[in-house]
Structure 1
Protein backbone atom coordinates (compact mmCIF):
# COMPACT_ATOMS: atom_id res chain seq x y z
CA UNK A 1 0.00 0.00 0.00
CA UNK A 2 1.24 3.46 -0.91
CA UNK A 3 2.58 5.71 1.85
CA UNK A 4 4.28 9.09 1.84
CA UNK A 5 7.82 9.69 3.04
CA UNK A 6 8.62 10.99 6.52
CA UNK A 7 9.53 14.34 4.97
CA UNK A 8 6.20 14.54 3.14
CA UNK A 9 4.28 13.61 6.29
CA UNK A 10 6.08 16.37 8.20
CA UNK A 11 5.23 18.90 5.50
CA UNK A 12 1.58 17.84 5.54
CA UNK A 13 1.31 18.14 9.33
CA UNK A 14 2.87 21.61 9.11
CA UNK A 15 0.39 22.46 6.36
CA UNK A 16 -2.61 21.67 8.56
CA UNK A 17 -1.01 23.20 11.67
CA UNK A 18 -0.66 19.93 13.59
CA UNK A 19 2.43 20.34 15.75
CA UNK A 20 2.16 17.26 17.97
CA UNK A 21 4.04 13.99 17.48
CA UNK A 22 1.26 12.36 15.49
CA UNK A 23 2.93 8.96 15.17
CA UNK A 24 3.32 8.70 18.93
CA UNK A 25 -0.30 9.76 19.39
CA UNK A 26 -1.41 6.96 17.06
CA UNK A 27 0.21 4.48 19.43
CA UNK A 28 -1.21 6.05 22.61
CA UNK A 29 -4.62 7.34 21.50
CA UNK A 30 -5.37 6.29 17.91
CA UNK A 31 -9.01 7.41 17.76
CA UNK A 32 -8.23 10.73 19.41
CA UNK A 33 -5.36 11.34 17.01
CA UNK A 34 -7.48 10.41 14.00
CA UNK A 35 -10.21 12.80 15.15
CA UNK A 36 -7.82 15.70 15.72
CA UNK A 37 -6.01 15.22 12.41
CA UNK A 38 -9.35 14.99 10.58
CA UNK A 39 -10.52 18.25 12.16
CA UNK A 40 -7.34 20.09 11.18
CA UNK A 41 -7.40 18.58 7.70
CA UNK A 42 -10.96 19.67 6.98
CA UNK A 43 -10.22 23.17 8.27
CA UNK A 44 -7.23 23.55 5.93
CA UNK A 45 -7.80 21.38 2.85
CA UNK A 46 -10.89 22.64 1.01
CA UNK A 47 -13.52 20.51 -0.64
CA UNK A 48 -13.50 22.12 -4.07
CA UNK A 49 -14.14 21.72 -7.78
CA UNK A 50 -11.97 24.58 -9.05
CA UNK A 51 -9.78 22.56 -11.42
CA UNK A 52 -12.86 21.54 -13.42
CA UNK A 53 -13.45 25.21 -14.23
CA UNK A 54 -10.17 27.10 -13.91
CA UNK A 55 -8.05 24.82 -16.06
CA UNK A 56 -7.24 24.24 -19.71
CA UNK A 57 -7.69 20.46 -19.65
CA UNK A 58 -10.16 20.11 -16.73
CA UNK A 59 -8.84 16.65 -15.84
CA UNK A 60 -8.24 15.49 -12.27
CA UNK A 61 -5.43 13.11 -11.35
CA UNK A 62 -5.76 10.57 -8.54
CA UNK A 63 -2.03 9.86 -8.59
CA UNK A 64 -0.93 10.28 -4.98
CA UNK A 65 2.18 12.29 -5.82
CA UNK A 66 0.07 14.62 -7.96
CA UNK A 67 -2.36 14.98 -5.07
CA UNK A 68 0.42 15.80 -2.62
CA UNK A 69 1.69 18.53 -4.93
CA UNK A 70 -1.80 19.93 -5.44
CA UNK A 71 -2.86 19.87 -1.77
CA UNK A 72 0.34 20.55 0.17
CA UNK A 73 2.59 22.37 -2.29
CA UNK A 74 -0.13 24.39 -4.01
CA UNK A 75 -2.51 24.84 -1.06
CA UNK A 76 -5.53 23.45 -2.84
CA UNK A 77 -8.04 20.67 -2.18
CA UNK A 78 -10.33 18.65 -4.39
CA UNK A 79 -13.53 16.65 -4.53
CA UNK A 80 -14.22 13.36 -2.75
CA UNK A 81 -11.95 10.98 -4.66
CA UNK A 82 -9.03 13.42 -4.51
CA UNK A 83 -9.15 14.39 -0.85
CA UNK A 84 -10.18 10.96 0.44
CA UNK A 85 -7.49 9.18 -1.59
CA UNK A 86 -4.91 11.65 -0.31
CA UNK A 87 -6.13 11.38 3.30
CA UNK A 88 -6.06 7.57 3.11
CA UNK A 89 -2.36 7.69 2.13
CA UNK A 90 -1.65 10.12 4.98
CA UNK A 91 -3.38 7.83 7.48
CA UNK A 92 -1.42 4.81 6.26
CA UNK A 93 1.78 6.81 6.62
CA UNK A 94 0.80 7.54 10.22
CA UNK A 95 0.31 3.81 10.84
CA UNK A 96 -3.46 3.37 10.57
CA UNK A 97 -5.07 0.30 9.00
CA UNK A 98 -7.77 1.18 6.47
CA UNK A 99 -9.28 0.57 3.07
CA UNK A 100 -11.36 2.64 0.66
CA UNK A 101 -14.87 1.86 -0.56
CA UNK A 102 -17.29 3.27 -3.10
CA UNK A 103 -20.59 4.99 -2.48
CA UNK A 104 -23.68 6.14 -4.33
CA UNK A 105 -24.98 9.65 -3.63
CA UNK A 106 -28.71 10.27 -3.26
CA UNK A 107 -29.29 13.07 -5.77
CA UNK A 108 -32.40 14.97 -6.89
CA UNK A 109 -33.32 12.11 -9.24
CA UNK A 110 -32.34 9.20 -7.00
CA UNK A 111 -29.05 7.37 -6.62
CA UNK A 112 -26.44 8.41 -9.16
CA UNK A 113 -24.30 5.28 -9.47
CA UNK A 114 -20.82 4.86 -8.04
CA UNK A 115 -19.52 8.40 -7.63
CA UNK A 116 -18.32 8.76 -4.04
CA UNK A 117 -15.33 7.49 -2.08
CA UNK A 118 -15.06 6.82 1.65
CA UNK A 119 -12.41 5.36 3.95
CA UNK A 120 -13.00 2.68 6.55
CA UNK A 121 -10.43 2.71 9.36
CA UNK A 122 -10.00 -0.15 11.86
CA UNK A 123 -8.97 0.80 15.42
CA UNK A 124 -8.76 -1.79 18.20
CA UNK A 125 -11.03 -4.17 16.31
CA UNK A 126 -13.72 -1.58 15.54
CA UNK A 127 -14.31 0.09 12.20
CA UNK A 128 -14.92 3.77 11.61
CA UNK A 129 -16.23 5.66 8.60
CA UNK A 130 -13.87 8.52 7.75
CA UNK A 131 -14.98 10.89 4.99
CA UNK A 132 -13.27 14.25 4.41
CA UNK A 133 -14.92 14.75 1.03
CA UNK A 134 -18.69 15.20 1.27
CA UNK A 135 -19.01 18.95 1.56
CA UNK A 136 -21.58 20.81 3.61
CA UNK A 137 -23.63 17.74 4.57
CA UNK A 138 -20.64 15.64 5.56
CA UNK A 139 -19.34 14.39 8.88
CA UNK A 140 -16.35 16.10 10.52
CA UNK A 141 -15.44 13.17 12.82
CA UNK A 142 -14.70 9.45 12.49
CA UNK A 143 -18.00 7.59 12.89
CA UNK A 144 -18.32 4.13 14.41
CA UNK A 145 -19.61 1.66 11.84
CA UNK A 146 -22.57 0.41 13.87
CA UNK A 147 -26.20 -0.07 12.86
CA UNK A 148 -28.53 2.71 14.06
CA UNK A 149 -25.58 4.68 15.39
CA UNK A 150 -26.46 8.38 15.77
CA UNK A 151 -23.95 11.18 16.25
CA UNK A 152 -23.57 14.95 16.24
CA UNK A 153 -22.00 16.47 13.15
CA UNK A 154 -21.38 20.20 13.23
CA UNK A 155 -23.95 21.10 15.89
CA UNK A 156 -26.89 21.18 15.66
CA UNK A 157 -26.75 18.82 12.65
CA UNK A 158 -27.03 15.13 13.42
CA UNK A 159 -25.98 12.04 11.49
CA UNK A 160 -26.93 8.39 11.47
CA UNK A 161 -25.56 5.14 10.06
CA UNK A 162 -27.83 2.21 9.28
CA UNK A 163 -27.10 -1.17 7.70
CA UNK A 164 -30.19 -1.85 5.63
CA UNK A 165 -31.86 -2.93 2.43
CA UNK A 166 -32.98 -0.48 -0.26
CA UNK A 167 -36.51 -1.71 -1.03
CA UNK A 168 -36.94 0.55 -4.07
CA UNK A 169 -33.52 -0.29 -5.50
CA UNK A 170 -32.52 -3.85 -4.52
CA UNK A 171 -34.03 -6.76 -6.45
CA UNK A 172 -32.68 -9.12 -3.76
CA UNK A 173 -34.27 -8.41 -0.35
CA UNK A 174 -31.22 -9.94 1.31
CA UNK A 175 -28.92 -7.17 0.08
CA UNK A 176 -27.60 -4.62 2.59
CA UNK A 177 -25.65 -1.39 2.39
CA UNK A 178 -24.48 1.17 4.92
CA UNK A 179 -26.65 4.30 4.70
CA UNK A 180 -25.48 7.68 5.93
CA UNK A 181 -28.36 10.04 6.74
CA UNK A 182 -28.37 13.48 8.29
CA UNK A 183 -30.77 16.09 9.61
CA UNK A 184 -30.30 19.77 10.33
CA UNK A 185 -31.37 19.52 14.00
CA UNK A 186 -33.25 17.22 16.36
CA UNK A 187 -36.66 18.33 15.07
CA UNK A 188 -35.88 17.95 11.36
CA UNK A 189 -36.58 14.80 9.32
CA UNK A 190 -33.78 12.42 8.36
CA UNK A 191 -32.52 12.73 4.78
CA UNK A 192 -30.55 9.90 3.20
CA UNK A 193 -27.27 11.26 1.81
CA UNK A 194 -25.34 8.31 0.42
CA UNK A 195 -24.82 4.60 0.89
CA UNK A 196 -21.68 2.52 0.62
CA UNK A 197 -20.62 -1.09 0.79
CA UNK A 198 -18.01 -2.93 2.82
CA UNK A 199 -16.28 -4.12 -0.37
CA UNK A 200 -12.80 -2.70 -0.84
CA UNK A 201 -12.49 -0.65 -4.02
CA UNK A 202 -9.14 -0.58 -5.80
CA UNK A 203 -7.43 2.42 -7.42
CA UNK A 204 -8.54 1.18 -10.84
CA UNK A 205 -12.18 1.32 -9.68
CA UNK A 206 -11.82 4.94 -8.65
CA UNK A 207 -10.13 5.78 -11.95
CA UNK A 208 -13.29 4.63 -13.74
CA UNK A 209 -15.52 6.56 -11.33
CA UNK A 210 -13.34 9.67 -11.54
CA UNK A 211 -13.54 9.75 -15.34
CA UNK A 212 -17.30 10.06 -15.30
CA UNK A 213 -17.58 12.49 -12.38
CA UNK A 214 -15.04 14.91 -13.86
CA UNK A 215 -16.36 14.81 -17.46
CA UNK A 216 -20.12 14.12 -17.50
CA UNK A 217 -22.05 17.33 -18.33
CA UNK A 218 -24.66 16.48 -15.68
CA UNK A 219 -22.05 16.08 -12.93
CA UNK A 220 -22.63 18.51 -10.06
CA UNK A 221 -18.92 19.30 -9.95
CA UNK A 222 -18.74 20.01 -13.68
CA UNK A 223 -21.69 22.38 -13.33
CA UNK A 224 -20.73 24.11 -10.09
CA UNK A 225 -17.81 26.22 -8.91
CA UNK A 226 -17.47 25.18 -5.27
CA UNK A 227 -14.96 25.68 -2.47
CA UNK A 228 -15.62 25.10 1.23
CA UNK A 229 -13.91 24.14 4.44
CA UNK A 230 -14.69 23.58 8.10
CA UNK A 231 -14.42 26.34 10.68
CA UNK A 232 -12.98 25.35 14.08
CA UNK A 233 -13.47 27.00 17.47
CA UNK A 234 -10.89 29.42 18.89
CA UNK A 235 -8.89 26.59 20.41
CA UNK A 236 -8.80 24.75 17.04
CA UNK A 237 -10.38 21.69 18.64
CA UNK A 238 -14.03 21.43 17.59
CA UNK A 239 -15.82 22.10 14.28
CA UNK A 240 -18.34 24.91 14.69
CA UNK A 241 -19.29 25.86 11.13
CA UNK A 242 -18.50 26.09 7.45
CA UNK A 243 -17.20 28.69 5.03
CA UNK A 244 -18.71 28.10 1.58
CA UNK A 245 -18.12 29.62 -1.82
CA UNK A 246 -20.74 28.25 -4.21
CA UNK A 247 -21.41 29.63 -7.66
CA UNK A 248 -21.96 33.35 -7.01
CA UNK A 249 -21.84 33.82 -3.23
CA UNK A 250 -19.73 33.29 -0.13
CA UNK A 251 -21.62 32.06 2.92
CA UNK A 252 -20.62 31.49 6.54
CA UNK A 253 -22.58 29.00 8.61
CA UNK A 254 -22.07 28.84 12.37
CA UNK A 255 -24.47 26.58 14.25
CA UNK A 256 -28.00 27.49 13.17
CA UNK A 257 -26.91 30.90 11.88
CA UNK A 258 -26.17 31.18 8.17
CA UNK A 259 -25.48 34.36 6.25
CA UNK A 260 -24.17 35.39 2.85
CA UNK A 261 -21.12 37.54 3.47
CA UNK A 262 -20.40 38.40 -0.15
CA UNK A 263 -22.37 38.29 -3.38
CA UNK A 264 -20.26 37.66 -6.47
CA UNK A 265 -21.22 39.14 -9.83
CA UNK A 266 -18.08 38.80 -11.95
CA UNK A 267 -15.18 36.42 -12.42
CA UNK A 268 -12.84 39.05 -11.01
CA UNK A 269 -14.85 39.15 -7.78
CA UNK A 270 -14.91 35.36 -7.50
CA UNK A 271 -11.16 35.07 -8.07
CA UNK A 272 -10.55 37.71 -5.38
CA UNK A 273 -12.92 35.90 -3.02
CA UNK A 274 -11.00 32.64 -3.43
CA UNK A 275 -7.83 34.44 -2.40
CA UNK A 276 -9.44 36.43 0.39
CA UNK A 277 -11.32 33.61 2.10
CA UNK A 278 -9.33 30.48 1.17
CA UNK A 279 -5.88 31.77 0.28
CA UNK A 280 -6.17 30.28 -3.21
CA UNK A 281 -4.48 32.35 -5.90
CA UNK A 282 -5.33 31.33 -9.43
CA UNK A 283 -2.76 31.97 -12.14
CA UNK A 284 -3.59 33.96 -15.26
CA UNK A 285 -3.62 30.72 -17.21
CA UNK A 286 -6.04 29.09 -14.79
CA UNK A 287 -8.39 32.08 -14.89
CA UNK A 288 -8.56 31.84 -18.68
CA UNK A 289 -9.75 28.24 -18.42
CA UNK A 290 -13.29 29.18 -17.41
CA UNK A 291 -13.93 31.45 -20.37
CA UNK A 292 -16.88 30.26 -22.39
CA UNK A 293 -18.08 27.73 -19.81
CA UNK A 294 -21.61 27.84 -18.43
CA UNK A 295 -20.09 28.28 -14.95
CA UNK A 296 -18.33 31.54 -15.91
CA UNK A 297 -19.61 34.60 -14.02
CA UNK A 298 -20.40 37.48 -16.34
CA UNK A 299 -21.38 40.96 -15.29
CA UNK A 300 -25.05 41.66 -15.93
CA UNK A 301 -25.56 44.19 -18.72
Structure 2
Protein backbone atom coordinates (compact mmCIF):
# COMPACT_ATOMS: atom_id res chain seq x y z
CA UNK A 1 0.00 0.00 0.00
CA UNK A 2 1.39 3.42 -0.98
CA UNK A 3 2.14 5.73 1.94
CA UNK A 4 -0.24 8.64 2.41
CA UNK A 5 1.37 12.06 2.99
CA UNK A 6 1.02 13.69 6.40
CA UNK A 7 2.37 16.79 8.10
CA UNK A 8 4.59 16.77 11.17
CA UNK A 9 3.40 17.98 14.55
CA UNK A 10 5.44 21.17 14.09
CA UNK A 11 3.80 21.78 10.71
CA UNK A 12 0.35 21.17 12.19
CA UNK A 13 1.11 23.61 15.00
CA UNK A 14 2.06 26.27 12.43
CA UNK A 15 -1.09 25.54 10.40
CA UNK A 16 -3.28 25.93 13.48
CA UNK A 17 -1.60 29.25 14.22
CA UNK A 18 -2.20 30.24 10.59
CA UNK A 19 -5.96 29.65 10.91
CA UNK A 20 -6.06 31.30 14.36
CA UNK A 21 -7.24 28.19 16.16
CA UNK A 22 -8.43 28.98 19.70
CA UNK A 23 -7.46 26.29 22.24
CA UNK A 24 -9.81 25.28 25.04
CA UNK A 25 -6.89 24.66 27.44
CA UNK A 26 -3.92 26.83 28.41
CA UNK A 27 -1.14 24.32 28.88
CA UNK A 28 -1.52 21.95 25.93
CA UNK A 29 -0.12 22.67 22.48
CA UNK A 30 -2.61 23.56 19.78
CA UNK A 31 -2.22 20.10 18.24
CA UNK A 32 -2.84 18.41 21.58
CA UNK A 33 -5.89 20.58 22.13
CA UNK A 34 -7.35 19.59 18.74
CA UNK A 35 -6.70 15.92 19.48
CA UNK A 36 -8.57 16.25 22.78
CA UNK A 37 -11.50 17.94 21.05
CA UNK A 38 -11.62 15.24 18.38
CA UNK A 39 -11.88 12.60 21.10
CA UNK A 40 -14.89 14.27 22.70
CA UNK A 41 -16.58 16.00 19.73
CA UNK A 42 -15.07 15.08 16.38
CA UNK A 43 -17.80 16.75 14.31
CA UNK A 44 -17.57 19.97 16.30
CA UNK A 45 -13.79 20.00 15.92
CA UNK A 46 -14.11 19.40 12.18
CA UNK A 47 -16.65 22.21 11.77
CA UNK A 48 -14.41 24.60 13.72
CA UNK A 49 -11.36 23.76 11.60
CA UNK A 50 -13.33 24.17 8.35
CA UNK A 51 -14.71 27.54 9.42
CA UNK A 52 -11.31 28.81 10.54
CA UNK A 53 -9.63 27.65 7.33
CA UNK A 54 -12.21 29.47 5.23
CA UNK A 55 -11.73 32.66 7.24
CA UNK A 56 -7.92 32.55 7.16
CA UNK A 57 -6.77 31.08 3.84
CA UNK A 58 -7.97 32.99 0.76
CA UNK A 59 -9.44 31.16 -2.19
CA UNK A 60 -7.88 32.36 -5.41
CA UNK A 61 -5.75 31.62 -8.44
CA UNK A 62 -2.91 34.11 -8.03
CA UNK A 63 -0.16 31.66 -9.01
CA UNK A 64 -1.66 31.28 -12.49
CA UNK A 65 -1.24 35.02 -13.00
CA UNK A 66 1.37 36.26 -10.53
CA UNK A 67 4.28 33.88 -11.09
CA UNK A 68 6.99 33.20 -13.63
CA UNK A 69 5.74 29.65 -14.33
CA UNK A 70 1.92 30.04 -14.30
CA UNK A 71 1.39 26.51 -13.01
CA UNK A 72 -0.20 24.93 -9.92
CA UNK A 73 1.56 22.28 -7.84
CA UNK A 74 -0.39 19.86 -5.65
CA UNK A 75 2.74 18.57 -3.95
CA UNK A 76 2.00 18.48 -0.18
CA UNK A 77 5.18 20.39 0.70
CA UNK A 78 4.47 23.06 -1.93
CA UNK A 79 0.92 23.48 -0.64
CA UNK A 80 2.20 23.92 2.90
CA UNK A 81 4.93 26.37 1.94
CA UNK A 82 2.59 28.44 -0.21
CA UNK A 83 -0.49 28.71 1.99
CA UNK A 84 0.93 28.32 5.50
CA UNK A 85 4.43 29.78 5.32
CA UNK A 86 3.87 32.32 2.52
CA UNK A 87 0.23 32.92 3.52
CA UNK A 88 -0.85 33.04 -0.12
CA UNK A 89 -4.17 32.02 -1.62
CA UNK A 90 -4.98 28.76 -3.35
CA UNK A 91 -7.71 27.49 -5.62
CA UNK A 92 -9.91 24.42 -5.18
CA UNK A 93 -7.41 21.57 -5.27
CA UNK A 94 -4.82 23.58 -3.35
CA UNK A 95 -7.03 24.67 -0.45
CA UNK A 96 -8.80 21.34 -0.16
CA UNK A 97 -5.54 19.48 -0.80
CA UNK A 98 -3.89 21.23 2.14
CA UNK A 99 -6.93 20.73 4.38
CA UNK A 100 -7.10 17.06 3.35
CA UNK A 101 -3.58 16.38 4.58
CA UNK A 102 -4.14 18.40 7.76
CA UNK A 103 -7.25 16.38 8.62
CA UNK A 104 -5.51 13.08 7.89
CA UNK A 105 -2.52 14.15 10.00
CA UNK A 106 -4.86 14.96 12.90
CA UNK A 107 -6.32 11.46 12.75
CA UNK A 108 -9.57 12.00 10.85
CA UNK A 109 -10.77 9.24 8.52
CA UNK A 110 -10.94 11.26 5.31
CA UNK A 111 -10.64 10.79 1.58
CA UNK A 112 -11.07 12.98 -1.49
CA UNK A 113 -13.42 12.68 -4.43
CA UNK A 114 -13.97 14.61 -7.65
CA UNK A 115 -16.87 16.84 -8.60
CA UNK A 116 -18.31 18.50 -11.68
CA UNK A 117 -19.11 22.22 -11.43
CA UNK A 118 -22.53 23.18 -12.81
CA UNK A 119 -23.16 25.61 -15.64
CA UNK A 120 -25.26 27.53 -13.11
CA UNK A 121 -22.12 28.18 -11.05
CA UNK A 122 -19.63 28.54 -13.90
CA UNK A 123 -21.73 30.39 -16.47
CA UNK A 124 -24.75 31.71 -14.59
CA UNK A 125 -27.13 29.55 -16.65
CA UNK A 126 -29.10 26.87 -14.83
CA UNK A 127 -29.60 24.46 -17.75
CA UNK A 128 -28.99 21.27 -15.79
CA UNK A 129 -25.57 20.76 -17.40
CA UNK A 130 -22.15 20.32 -15.80
CA UNK A 131 -18.51 20.81 -16.72
CA UNK A 132 -15.96 17.98 -16.68
CA UNK A 133 -14.38 16.82 -13.42
CA UNK A 134 -12.53 19.80 -12.01
CA UNK A 135 -13.38 20.15 -8.31
CA UNK A 136 -12.08 18.41 -5.17
CA UNK A 137 -14.45 17.47 -2.35
CA UNK A 138 -13.50 15.84 0.93
CA UNK A 139 -15.50 13.05 2.56
CA UNK A 140 -14.94 12.71 6.31
CA UNK A 141 -16.27 9.64 8.14
CA UNK A 142 -17.23 10.11 11.79
CA UNK A 143 -18.86 7.27 13.76
CA UNK A 144 -19.76 5.58 10.47
CA UNK A 145 -21.50 8.65 9.02
CA UNK A 146 -20.11 10.46 5.97
CA UNK A 147 -19.87 14.24 5.73
CA UNK A 148 -19.07 16.43 2.73
CA UNK A 149 -16.43 19.02 3.57
CA UNK A 150 -15.30 21.73 1.15
CA UNK A 151 -12.89 24.64 1.63
CA UNK A 152 -12.18 25.30 -2.03
CA UNK A 153 -15.31 26.40 -3.89
CA UNK A 154 -15.18 30.15 -3.37
CA UNK A 155 -18.23 32.42 -3.04
CA UNK A 156 -20.93 29.75 -2.83
CA UNK A 157 -18.94 27.06 -1.04
CA UNK A 158 -20.14 25.13 1.99
CA UNK A 159 -19.30 26.71 5.34
CA UNK A 160 -19.89 23.61 7.51
CA UNK A 161 -19.78 19.81 7.14
CA UNK A 162 -22.90 18.48 5.41
CA UNK A 163 -24.00 14.89 6.13
CA UNK A 164 -24.46 12.75 3.03
CA UNK A 165 -28.20 12.60 3.57
CA UNK A 166 -30.95 13.40 1.09
CA UNK A 167 -32.15 16.96 1.64
CA UNK A 168 -29.67 17.73 4.42
CA UNK A 169 -30.06 21.51 4.76
CA UNK A 170 -28.08 24.06 6.77
CA UNK A 171 -27.39 27.78 6.95
CA UNK A 172 -24.49 28.58 4.65
CA UNK A 173 -24.09 32.27 5.39
CA UNK A 174 -27.29 33.82 6.70
CA UNK A 175 -29.70 34.31 5.03
CA UNK A 176 -28.21 31.94 2.41
CA UNK A 177 -28.77 28.20 2.78
CA UNK A 178 -27.11 25.04 1.43
CA UNK A 179 -28.21 21.45 1.01
CA UNK A 180 -27.48 18.09 -0.60
CA UNK A 181 -29.91 16.21 -2.82
CA UNK A 182 -29.40 12.87 -4.54
CA UNK A 183 -30.60 12.93 -8.13
CA UNK A 184 -29.72 12.01 -11.68
CA UNK A 185 -28.39 14.70 -14.03
CA UNK A 186 -29.54 15.61 -17.53
CA UNK A 187 -26.55 14.17 -19.36
CA UNK A 188 -26.73 10.69 -17.79
CA UNK A 189 -27.96 7.97 -20.17
CA UNK A 190 -29.06 5.73 -17.31
CA UNK A 191 -31.42 7.88 -15.24
CA UNK A 192 -31.37 5.36 -12.40
CA UNK A 193 -27.85 6.63 -11.61
CA UNK A 194 -28.08 9.00 -8.65
CA UNK A 195 -25.33 11.31 -7.46
CA UNK A 196 -25.00 13.98 -4.80
CA UNK A 197 -25.76 17.54 -5.87
CA UNK A 198 -24.68 20.45 -3.70
CA UNK A 199 -27.17 23.33 -3.98
CA UNK A 200 -27.45 26.83 -2.54
CA UNK A 201 -30.04 29.59 -2.39
CA UNK A 202 -29.78 33.20 -1.29
CA UNK A 203 -32.72 33.04 1.14
CA UNK A 204 -35.78 30.97 1.98
CA UNK A 205 -37.76 32.57 -0.86
CA UNK A 206 -35.18 31.92 -3.59
CA UNK A 207 -34.83 29.00 -5.96
CA UNK A 208 -32.26 26.33 -5.19
CA UNK A 209 -29.30 26.46 -7.61
CA UNK A 210 -26.96 23.51 -8.28
CA UNK A 211 -23.29 24.33 -7.67
CA UNK A 212 -21.59 20.98 -8.27
CA UNK A 213 -22.28 17.26 -8.29
CA UNK A 214 -20.21 14.38 -6.98
CA UNK A 215 -20.27 10.75 -5.93
CA UNK A 216 -18.70 9.33 -2.80
CA UNK A 217 -16.15 7.20 -4.69
CA UNK A 218 -12.55 7.88 -3.68
CA UNK A 219 -10.31 9.68 -6.18
CA UNK A 220 -6.55 9.17 -6.07
CA UNK A 221 -3.69 11.71 -6.36
CA UNK A 222 -3.11 10.73 -10.00
CA UNK A 223 -6.74 11.60 -10.76
CA UNK A 224 -6.33 15.08 -9.31
CA UNK A 225 -3.06 15.52 -11.21
CA UNK A 226 -5.00 15.17 -14.47
CA UNK A 227 -7.82 17.41 -13.24
CA UNK A 228 -5.39 20.04 -11.99
CA UNK A 229 -3.57 20.13 -15.32
CA UNK A 230 -6.80 20.62 -17.26
CA UNK A 231 -8.15 23.34 -14.96
CA UNK A 232 -4.88 25.26 -14.68
CA UNK A 233 -3.48 24.91 -18.20
CA UNK A 234 -6.36 24.68 -20.68
CA UNK A 235 -6.71 27.94 -22.63
CA UNK A 236 -10.48 27.84 -22.32
CA UNK A 237 -10.35 27.43 -18.53
CA UNK A 238 -11.83 30.40 -16.69
CA UNK A 239 -9.00 30.17 -14.15
CA UNK A 240 -6.36 30.93 -16.79
CA UNK A 241 -8.22 33.98 -18.09
CA UNK A 242 -9.41 35.78 -14.97
CA UNK A 243 -7.79 36.61 -11.65
CA UNK A 244 -9.92 36.32 -8.50
CA UNK A 245 -9.39 36.25 -4.75
CA UNK A 246 -11.99 35.61 -2.04
CA UNK A 247 -11.98 35.17 1.72
CA UNK A 248 -14.76 34.40 4.17
CA UNK A 249 -15.48 36.77 7.06
CA UNK A 250 -16.27 35.30 10.52
CA UNK A 251 -18.21 36.94 13.32
CA UNK A 252 -16.38 38.41 16.31
CA UNK A 253 -16.31 35.07 18.13
CA UNK A 254 -15.33 33.06 15.06
CA UNK A 255 -18.38 30.85 15.53
CA UNK A 256 -20.03 31.45 12.16
CA UNK A 257 -19.32 32.84 8.71
CA UNK A 258 -21.20 36.10 8.19
CA UNK A 259 -19.75 37.44 4.95
CA UNK A 260 -17.04 37.44 2.35
CA UNK A 261 -14.55 39.79 0.76
CA UNK A 262 -14.07 39.35 -3.00
CA UNK A 263 -11.59 40.80 -5.46
CA UNK A 264 -12.80 40.32 -9.01
CA UNK A 265 -12.30 42.41 -12.11
CA UNK A 266 -11.57 45.96 -11.02
CA UNK A 267 -13.41 45.89 -7.71
CA UNK A 268 -12.97 44.72 -4.16
CA UNK A 269 -16.35 44.03 -2.58
CA UNK A 270 -17.48 42.99 0.87
CA UNK A 271 -20.81 41.33 1.57
CA UNK A 272 -21.85 40.90 5.21
CA UNK A 273 -25.24 39.51 6.25
CA UNK A 274 -26.60 40.06 2.76
CA UNK A 275 -25.45 43.70 2.50
CA UNK A 276 -22.83 44.50 -0.16
CA UNK A 277 -20.41 47.42 -0.38
CA UNK A 278 -17.58 48.28 -2.77
CA UNK A 279 -14.39 48.73 -0.79
CA UNK A 280 -12.14 49.83 -3.62
CA UNK A 281 -12.05 50.29 -7.38
CA UNK A 282 -8.80 49.06 -8.93
CA UNK A 283 -7.33 51.07 -11.78
CA UNK A 284 -3.80 49.71 -12.07
CA UNK A 285 -1.71 46.68 -11.20
CA UNK A 286 -0.19 48.70 -8.36
CA UNK A 287 -3.70 49.20 -6.96
CA UNK A 288 -4.38 45.46 -7.09
CA UNK A 289 -1.07 44.46 -5.51
CA UNK A 290 -1.64 46.85 -2.61
CA UNK A 291 -5.27 45.68 -2.24
CA UNK A 292 -4.17 42.04 -2.07
CA UNK A 293 -1.93 42.93 0.85
CA UNK A 294 -4.50 45.18 2.54
CA UNK A 295 -7.62 43.03 2.32
CA UNK A 296 -6.24 39.48 2.02
CA UNK A 297 -2.78 39.69 3.61
CA UNK A 298 -1.30 38.27 0.41
CA UNK A 299 2.16 39.68 -0.23
CA UNK A 300 3.76 39.02 -3.60
CA UNK A 301 7.43 39.09 -4.53
CA UNK A 302 8.74 41.31 -7.32
CA UNK A 303 9.33 38.35 -9.63
CA UNK A 304 5.76 37.15 -9.04
CA UNK A 305 4.32 40.58 -9.77
CA UNK A 306 6.24 40.73 -13.04
CA UNK A 307 4.67 37.42 -14.08
CA UNK A 308 1.35 39.00 -15.03
CA UNK A 309 2.85 41.39 -17.58
CA UNK A 310 1.32 40.78 -20.99
CA UNK A 311 -1.40 38.43 -19.77
CA UNK A 312 -5.06 39.10 -20.54
CA UNK A 313 -5.68 39.41 -16.80
CA UNK A 314 -3.23 42.32 -16.35
CA UNK A 315 -4.88 45.59 -15.28
CA UNK A 316 -3.97 48.26 -17.80
Q: What corresponds to 1:26 in structure 2?
A: 38
Aligned position for 1:82: 94
Give the Å deviation of 1:255: 1.2
1:59-70 mapped onto 2 (5 Å cutoff):
59-70=71-82
Structure 2 CA distance for aligned equivalents of residues 144 and 199 of structure 1: 15
For residue 246 of structure 1, report the CA deviation from its aligned partner. 1.1
1:247: how far off? 2.0
Q: What SS does the corresponding residue of 1:229 show, helix, strand or coil?
A: strand
User: 1: distance between equivalents of 2:273 and 2:143?
Assistant: 33
Retained in 1: the 8 A contact 2:96–2:137? yes
Q: Deviations over 1:83-142 (max 9, x none)?
A: 111101000111100110000001227311000000000111111000000000111111
Deviation at 1:265, TM superposition (A): 1.0
CA distance in 2, matches of 1:295, 1:192: 28
Matching of residue 6 in structure 1 with residue 9 in structure 2: yes
The 2-side partners of 1:130 and 1:79 are apart by: 15
Match of 1:16 in 2: 19
TM-score, with structure 1 as normaliser: 0.97
In structure 1, the partner of 2:67 is 55
- The answer (yes or no) to whether the contact 2:88–2:299 under 8 Å persists in 1 is no
Contact 2:76 2:98 in 1 (8 A): yes
| 2:162–2:179 Cα contact (<8 Å) kept | no
For 1:130 and 1:7, how far apart are their aligned partners in 2? 24
Tell me how far 1:280 sits from its aligned partner. 1.1
- Give the number of equivalent residue pairs: 297
Give the unaligned 5+ runs of structure 2.
Answer: 24-32
**Counterpart mapping for 1:1-301 below 5 A:** 1-20=4-23, 21-107=33-119, 108=123, 110-166=129-185, 168-298=186-316
How far off its partner does 1:236 sit?
A: 1.6
Query: Following TM superposition, by how much is the alpha carbon of 1:158 offset from its aligned partner in structure 2, in angstroms?
Result: 0.8
Deviations along 1:31-67, one digit per CA (max 9) or x if unpaired, are: 1101111111111111011000011110110010110
Paired with 1:182 and 1:236, the residues of 2 have a C-alpha distance of 22
Unpaired segments of 5 or more residues in structure 1? none
